[in-house]
Structure 1
Amino acid sequence: MRMRTPRPVTVDTLIALAMTATAVRLGQLSVAQGWPELDASAYVLLVLAHLPVALRRRAPLVVFAVVQVAGIAYIGLGYWPVASAFGSMLALYTVASVHPARIAAGCAAVMTAKWVYAGVISDSLSTGLVVGQALLYCSVLVWSGTLARRSHALGQQLRAEQAERARREVAAERGRIARELHDVVAHHMSVISVQAGLARFVLDSDATTARDALTTIEDTSTEALEELRRMLKVLREHDLGGAESAAPMPTLARLDDLVQRVRAGGVPVELNIQGTARPLPPGVELCAYRVVQEALTNVLKHTHHAATQVRLHYAKHELTVSVTNGGEGKIPAIVSSGGGHGLIGMRERAKLYGGTISVGPCAEGGFAVSLTLPTSATAARWRDERTR
């Protein structure tokens, strides 16, 4: 069970009571030190010199003034000065911990003067020793309070920076989720749109083709819902503070299913894998999958039945993915305008995983998307050294 932290005013009240009790006890021993015995006025002044520190955080300057006046009056009546010193020392530290150095220095000068006054009216201590003690104690108190004030300011700055960093991370996460939603919805809706148009066109003349198109729509919509559920599951786990589940998004092992769906939409797509396929970091596989998905979505939107080549090349240190479409020279709008969420999402994904991407028209017509990703942090360093 987690224990509650005491409130500052409660802690200060306990400190004030403890200091007052200690001061009264020392005052009762003042006769043994050669000082007058305390009377009612002395007890009242001792209480006033210590009990107000319970409010030191709320009004440090007022508390400092009250305890100093009470201490000066106590000393002026000829009582033992040591018994009245604790409250003024804590009050000076508090002033230095919350106010600028010039105010703390002024308060330290007042306290030093009081200390010197106590030495002057006392015949038992030399003036030089009293002045030295006053300067030493006041300097230490002001220095300690100043350090506490600076530490508090640095702590506030650190908390503000952490809050700002958290806000930026939340914004980045929202952007990532938006890109994921775009990739999922755009691709699947494009396939569904093409298949729905095909089914309507052949509904009366070719029932088999219409049935196949409806089956593709069913499978595609089911998969889209599954991906959205996976994403929502990850979001809920983050909200509950739990660990992220493994591989909530598609991997390269599902590229063949993606290609089959696009083929069902009327686009002749060929998948060619070079090198030895191997498991890669989840982020790398997701990045490559989404880039291929976005490129094929653009084929469905802009070039329809143009032949498309999807190539994966597994090298030792990197993965190369290319999607080439021979669409009779027609360039997708996102390429010709240089904008669009799809192209921005591709570039951001590639940059996030240390890769490079190029999207543009081919010399013989159509367009091509080429992505190169390092397969690990070590591979990224190896590639950087190779390109120097």
Structure 2
Amino acid sequence: MQTGRWRRRVDPLVTDTALACVLAVVTVVYARQSFAARYQSEGWPPFGLLAVALSLAVNLPLAVRRRAPWLVFAVSHGAFALYTAAGFQPSVNLWAPLLACYTVIAREPAGRAAWAAAVTAAAWTGSGLAAHLSPELSVAQAAIAVGVVWAFATGSRRLAQHNAQLAELTAQLEREQELRARHAITEERLRLARELHDVVAHHLSALAVQAGLADFVFTSDPAAARQAVVSIGESSRQALEEMRGLLHVLREGTGPGDADHLYRPSPGLTRLDELVERARSAGCEVSLSLSGPRRALPQGVDLCAYRIIQEALTNTIKHAGPEARVTVSLEFGTNHLAGQVTDEGGKAPAALPSSGIGLLGMRERARLYGGSLRAGPRATGGFEVVFTLPLAPLDTAGDS
């Protein structure tokens, strides 16, 4: 693991420089020792300063082969051609031009790489002829050497292209994951905004009406005023309970003692009677009608129906006034849940502003679960909210 990280930290220029220096030193030392032992007897010129200088010119440019592959290729092959033309023993400097050719083939398109391979093959063929090899052997030696380099270099180029594509795909996937995470956060914020609106608007509307009623009958009907104050206390406690649940969801972490609050079930139609009683305590005359076989609903659908009815009753308290008569109807069908909240209108309270978010939230909730919702004034006066939510068929729902 540590070795892999160390390799990734090493600059390629450093490794190429080290390789160029090693090749230059080995070439010069080997050539001078070989000339003294063997090449002099074969009639080659002495390996003097000119031979050393040309050998360094062949090998040292490899230090920048990744940064300027064509320049290194030209300098190395040019110096190699001069070295061969000067009559020095040609087999000494064969490998540096071959490595320069590899670099060009690995980095350039096939058309340009073919020109580099042809030049290197010609240089190797000329070196073989200068070394007194037969033309056939010289050509075969050059073809084999350049062919091996071509195979390795093209394989390296394809691998580099594949790695680049993988890196691009990885970056694209990371961007998509980030976008999905942001989208999920946005959806969660919208959901929590709807929940906060439903909780705050419903309970505060009921509190405002009940407080107004208590103030109105404080002297004329103390019993009614006391009942209104009791209702204010109950509504406040229920609002605090639901707000705590939402705030626990928003917390970054919870301790072991908070688990009960965090996983407390969301309200549903089982608490519909409490919802109706709160509306009645605000002064509305509410009648509840249920039809069809009752059954357990999915949690999301259950919460959706509860929130729609809650918002409809909240709007009634806001806009129709405490004396309005409201009818809440629920029908459990074989494959749907249908609900209707209607009021006959009344005198609206003086100061209960509306943002218009409630109707939008109800429609969003219904669409979220594949249902529909219609809300608007009635022809005979008042207002109505009608919604339908799809359910699994009754024979596969598991409860009835």
Matched, 1:10 2:9: yes
Question: Hey, what does 1:314 align to over in structure 2?
Answer: 332
- Going from structure 1 to structure 2, the CA distance change for 1:298 and 1:125 (only over 3 Å counts) comes to farther
Alignment of 1:1-388 (within 5 A): 6=5, 9-10=8-9, 16=15, 20=19, 49=62, 62=67, 64=69, 68=73, 72=77, 78=90, 79=92, 81-82=94-95, 89=102, 93=106, 95=107, 104=109, 108=113, 111-112=116-117, 115-123=120-128, 125-126=138-139, 127-130=142-145, 132-133=147-148, 135-237=150-252, 246=263, 249-304=266-321, 305-327=323-345, 340-376=356-392
State the TM-score, normalizing by the size of structure 1.
0.72
The answer on whether the counterparts of 2:304 and 2:365 sit within 8 Å (CA) in structure 1 is: yes
The answer on whether the counterparts of 2:121 and 2:143 sit within 8 Å (CA) in structure 1 is: no
Q: CA deviation at 1:226?
A: 1.8
Tell me, in whole angstroms, the C-alpha distance in 2 between the residues paired with 1:120 and 1:217: 102
Report the secondary structure of 2:216's partner residue.
helix
Report the secondary structure of 1:192's partner residue.
helix
Q: Could you list the runs of 5+ residues in structure 2 that have no partner in the other structure? A: 40-46, 84-89, 129-136, 349-353
Tell me, in whole angstroms, the C-alpha distance in 2 between the residues paired with 1:14 and 1:245: 58
> Structure 2 counterpart of 1:182, which letter?
H
Aligned residue pair count = 349
Tell me, in whole angstroms, the C-alpha distance in 2 between the residues paired with 1:4 and 1:306: 79
Structure ID, larger Rg: 2
Percent identity of equivalent pairs:
37
- Going from structure 1 to structure 2, the CA distance change for 1:155 and 1:262 (only over 3 Å counts) comes to same
What RMSD in Å do the two structures reach over aligned CA positions? Answer: 4.5
Tell me, in whole angstroms, the C-alpha distance in 2 between the residues paired with 1:7 and 1:175: 47
Q: CA deviation at 1:277?
A: 2.7
- Going from structure 1 to structure 2, the CA distance change for 1:209 and 1:165 (only over 3 Å counts) comes to same
Tell me, in whole angstroms, the C-alpha distance in 2 between the residues paired with 1:8 and 1:221: 66
State the TM-score, normalizing by the size of structure 2.
0.70
The answer on whether the counterparts of 1:64 and 1:91 sit within 8 Å (CA) in structure 2 is: yes
Tell me, in whole angstroms, the C-alpha distance in 2 between the residues paired with 1:255 and 1:265: 16
Tell me, in whole angstroms, the C-alpha distance in 2 between the residues paired with 1:317 and 1:238: 40
Tell me, in whole angstroms, the C-alpha distance in 1 between the residues paired with 2:3 and 2:315: 58
Tell me, in whole angstroms, the C-alpha distance in 2 between the residues paired with 1:12 and 1:249: 59
Report Cα offsets for 1:326-384 as digits up to 9, x if no partner.
Answer: 22699xxxxxx9x92111111111111111112123343322212211235x89xx9xx
Report Cα offsets for 1:205-257 as digits up to 9, x if no partner.
Answer: 333222221221122122212212211211225899xx995465322211111
Deviates more, 1:105-114 or 1:277-286: 105-114
